[in-house]
Structure formats: C-alpha cells, structure tokens
Structure 1
C-alpha cells in the first residue's frame, strides 16, 4: 500500500466509486452474457450449447471481447452476417446478468453510509447495460447518486463529470475520495480535478501499469484492504 492520506480524515465528505472490476468482477458479466448467447445459438442454429460457450470463452481469453462472436460463428461454419452479429450483441447486452459483488462490498458501503459519508457511483459505457448490472448486484440503494456518463455524452476522465459532482453534492475537490481500478481513466481526471484517489488492484487490469501520471494516489489489493485502510484513516467509524 502507498502512503497515507495527506488531508485530515474528517475532510472527506463524498466517496465516489467506479463499478466494473471495482465492486464486482466484470469477467463474471462477460461469462453470463456469453452463456445467454450460447443458449440462443443452441436453439437458433442447433449448436451444442456447452461447446459454443467454451469456444466463446476461449476466444475471450485469447483476444478479449472484440471479435468473439465472429470467431465463434466461423469456427462452427456459420456465416457471421452483420444481422446475426447485431442480434448476438443485443442478446449479450440485454441478458439478465448472473453476477455478485466482491466479498466485503456490502458491509463497506453500509459502514460508509453509517459514518455519515455521501456515496456516488460513476460508470462509463452503455447506461442500460450498466443499469442491469446494478439491478442484478442489488447495490443501487447505497448510492446517493448514480452517474451514467453515457447519458451525459461524457466519458471518464472528462473533468466535466467531476465538476458536476462537486456542484451536485456541494463539496470541494479535496473532500472527494475516488475509488476505481482502471488507470487508463479512473484517476487522471479525478486527480486533475483535485480529488484524492485509491486504486483497487483487482480484475482484468490488476497488473496494468501506465506510469505515475495515470496512477492513483494510493493503492490496495482488495475490498478488505480498502476497508482496513479507511478504518485506520478514521474515514470509517468503528
């Protein structure tokens, strides 16, 4: 773990969370979505559901999500037409996710609330997909405000996001603590805006290092370590 917080613990009034790979494992959402697509392909094209799912997981692990459906369809000698790909993408995005929060997330959110702090969540990408994730995870109730940047036509690390948050919560930048996992976008905007930042090294980007300019002020390895850190800094009440 990196250094302790520079500012007095009582200066923190708002904790701002990212969603994917910060509060739950995004790989579980991918697997859930691919399972829904495999089920559809079994009915629509007669594929073996298990074989189709395993093929998609294989391509996901090798090359990420970009061309999973094209590669899988070609592997099973099915023409990956634009219409079919669009259908599969829609199924993937609209399926009911089978996901759960990381261990310790609910107690942490509850303790932050009971400590008198405001909580907000900021998440990028398709807002409808993100809303379904939140519904499946059952944690929306903990947040005083949920910001789907897609609805604002913005994307982290745009400073406009943070300025809107400061205005909405009537807080100063130094009173905001931002928690995320992705050094490509979660910290540089928040730090530039004047917030303090903590990176949780978990999920698919846990080993990604982009240099000091894009790193958080502090780093932990898990939700439990984050909770312990906040308790030691007296941001969490005992």
Structure 2
C-alpha cells in the first residue's frame, strides 16, 4: 500500500510532524517511564505508598475533565496531578516534590532510540521540504537524536495551547511565513492531529498505525498511510 489520497495536495513547502506514536511506538516507552517514576515516588514519598499507577492515571483523567487546557499539555497535566496528589497526601513542599518527580519522568521518557526507518524518512523528506515538529508531548528531541531534522520543535507552553487548538500550528506558520495551505501536518491522532490541522487550514496525513481509530475521525484527512516509509512518496509533490 502507498499513500491513499482523499484530498488534492499541492504547493506544500513545510511538513510538520507529530512525534509520539507517529515516528515511534510511544506506548512501551511510556509504560517503562511510568513504572520507574512510580518506583521513585514510592521510595521518596511514602505518604503516597498506597497509590499505584492506576490511581495516578485516574487523577490525571479527572484533571483533564476539569481543565480543558490540561488535556492538550501533557507536561502541565502531569505536574498539576503530582502537585495535587502530594498536597493531599501531606508531602512537604508539594510543588517542589512534583518538580523533582517530573525531572525523573523527563529523563526516562526520552531514554530511547528512534527507529532507523524514521531517520531514513526524515532524511529523505528534509531534502525536499522544510520540517518541523508539533507535539503535545514532552519528549526531548535533542536527546532522542532527531532535533537536527527540524527547524523548530513546538510543544505546549503557558500561553501556547496544544493540538487540536490552532496555537502551535499558527506558531509554525508564522515562523515560516507561509499560508496554511502550504503546510502539511503528519500525525496519528484523529482529533489532535487531523482535526487540529483542519482547523488551522493545513493539509493532514493520518498515520493509521498509531493510537487513533477511524471511528474518531471527524474530518477527512488529506491522505492516510500505514507505514512511515510510504511518506517518501511525498517527495514527488515537491
């Protein structure tokens, strides 16, 4: 199978990439990171020893439902969840304790090697397009060895809401001084990536091998694909 086009694409100058579950399988990475962080919490903050991973996940879900902004900023969500939990458990200096745990989390969540296939595709595409990263996550692109492919890496900040809000797409468009029709966004999530790109007026490429399912699509992507290597066919559009 090659790219399956659903909309006509022309005039693309910039390709933006989601990172987690698009360029690499993030599920086992996160599973290991959360396990190691949970061990760190249990060792250093015994007040929470009865709270397992599922307890912390449920807390994150509740905070996401209570604050829509946190649902698109994974770093802010985790930090807020930890601070809330530590405060309730009576941990002294709850905010600083949460920051220390996040330092551990950031270390473990970026402790992996990106597959060679992703490097090959990014190398090929960079010869024909400008590339940037637009991610709701908090992976360190420098540490995992892909920062050199991107002109800019855009992730949520205090005044920059994550996908599907248009903030990060707008930042990329302003950075390159291009129109939305000149940017193509690649990602696996039907809402944050495909709907987000659509709202920003950009083209979208849906990776069907990620976490999202077709039942979650609310708009039709410009094209879909199930193997990263298929993106090399985009070079014909340059």
Q: Moved runs in structure 1, 4+ residues, more than 4 A?
A: 41-45, 84-89
Identify which of 217, 220, 234 aligns with 2:222: 217
> Which residue of structure 1 lines up, in the alignment, with residue 102 of structure 2?
90
Identify which of 5, 8, 12 aligns with 1:6: 8
Change (3 A) 1:7 1:94: closer
How far is 1:18 from its partner? 0.8
Distance 1:209 1:7 in 2: 24
Change (3 A) 1:41 1:14: closer
Give the SS at the match of 1:202: coil
> Which residue of structure 2 lines up, in the alignment, with residue 31 of structure 1?
31
Identify which of 188, 194, 199 aligns with 1:192: 199
Give the SS at the match of 1:28: helix
CA contact (8 A) 1:183 1:215 kept: no
1:207 and 2:213 aligned: yes
TM-score by length of 2: 0.69
Change (3 A) 1:64 1:226: farther
Highest CA radius of gyration, 1 or 2?
Answer: 1
CA contact (8 A) 2:14 2:182 kept: yes
How far is 1:37 from its partner? 2.9
CA contact (8 A) 1:15 1:179 kept: yes
Matches within 5 A, 1:37-48: 37=37, 40=40
Identify which of 214, 230, 235 aligns with 2:234: 230
CA contact (8 A) 1:25 1:102 kept: no
Deviation string 1:202-238 (CA, Å, 9 cap, x unpaired) is: 23x2435224x344221111212233x324xx036xx
Change (3 A) 1:87 1:124: closer
Give the SS at the match of 2:131: strand
How far is 1:95 from its partner? 2.6
Give the SS at the match of 2:113: coil
How far is 1:35 from its partner? 4.3
CA contact (8 A) 1:37 1:91 kept: no
CA contact (8 A) 1:33 1:91 kept: no
Deviation string 1:86-132 (CA, Å, 9 cap, x unpaired) is: 589536523343322244111111111122x111111124xxx433x
Change (3 A) 1:166 1:34: closer
Change (3 A) 1:38 1:162: closer
Change (3 A) 1:25 1:82: farther
Q: How large is the RMSD of aligned CA atoms in angstroms?
A: 3.4
Change (3 A) 1:218 1:67: same
Identify which of 152, 163, 182 aligns with 1:156: 163
Give the SS at the match of 1:121: strand
